[in-house]
Amino acid sequence: MSWISNRSRVRVAMVLAAIGATVLGGCEVREEKGDLVAGKQAFVGKCGSCHILSRAETKGVTGPNLDEAFQRALADGFRRDTVRGVVEKQIGYPALNGVMPSAKELKVSDQQAVDIAAYVASVVAKPGKDTGALADAVGGGQKALAKANGGVLAIPANPSGQLLYIFKNAEAPAGPLSIESKNPSSVPHNIAVEGPGADATGPVIQGGAVSKVQVTVKAGKYEFFCTVQGHREAGMAGTLTVK
């Protein structure tokens, strides 16, 4: 979900200034605090594939880096309540000439918008990592190695929607190999492989479907990755070693 155009800092500054003037004029930004845990979960699943937000550990590259976009405004004295209002406004009313889908298209409810805005405003441009319940809100860890079994290599996508596979790397014997990637999240992903004598791309899927490729591999190094725009660059890739 791309909330802000490529001129992100300018747009953020303008919206912040407008909302700030409204607050000073006596008309307050919405007061809902939101559920931060639910907000983090919704942000990762709905928005993290487009945006970098350090505390959420999201690495999307098709939209602006939110930490950078809001850092200057916060340094200039804008309150996080005002940032919350900006984020919620962008979710509800994206730019008509922008690339951000509507909340309806993303299936973001009014309450989710409140929760996402609350979470982003509470952590954006903050150093360190989330703690307590927020640290456990999203399972973002990776396992070290997937191993083929009976000619099938399973490399599922992260169920929370983060731009990660469950495994960092994989191992298989030489010969015919089916590489399968189940994607439980609503963020579209697929599996592709490149290497000696093999170049195959599976279909882009979501919502529990499986992307699959059939290849014949020989001893050497291969790369598996997601071909959706920006996902490979954000780290959705790994090395397959064939012995």
Q: What's the number of CA atoms in the CB half-sphere (13 Å) around residue 224?
A: 36
Q: What is the pLDDT of residues 7-31, one digit of tens each?
A: 544 455 544 544 443 333 333 334 4
Q: Is 33 a residue whose pLDDT tops 90?
A: no
Rounded to the nearest integer, the mean pLDDT of the chain is: 87
Q: What is the pLDDT of residues 170-187, one digit of tens each?
A: 999 999 999 999 999 989
Q: Which three-class secondary structure state does DSSP give residue 197?
A: coil
**Range with the poorest average pLDDT among 22-26, 87-91, 101-105:** 22-26
Query: What CATH number should be reported for the domain whose range is 143-242?
Result: 2.60.40.420
- How would you class 139 by CB atoms within 10 Å of its CB: exposed for 0-12, middle for 13-18, buried for 19 or more? exposed
Confidence of residue 55 (pLDDT cuts 50, 70, 90): very high
Q: Which residue has the higher pLDDT, 139 or 21?
A: 139
Q: Which residue has the higher pLDDT, 80 or 63?
A: 80
Q: Is 106 a residue whose pLDDT tops 90?
A: no
**Residue 12 confidence (pLDDT):** 53
CATH architecture of 8-135: Orthogonal Bundle (1.10)
Secondary structure of 41-63 in the HEC alphabet? Answer: HHHHHHCCCCCEEHHHCEECCCC
Instruction: For the chain, give every domain's residue range.
Output: 8-135, 143-242
**Residue 29 confidence (pLDDT):** 37
Q: Is 102 a residue whose pLDDT tops 50?
A: yes
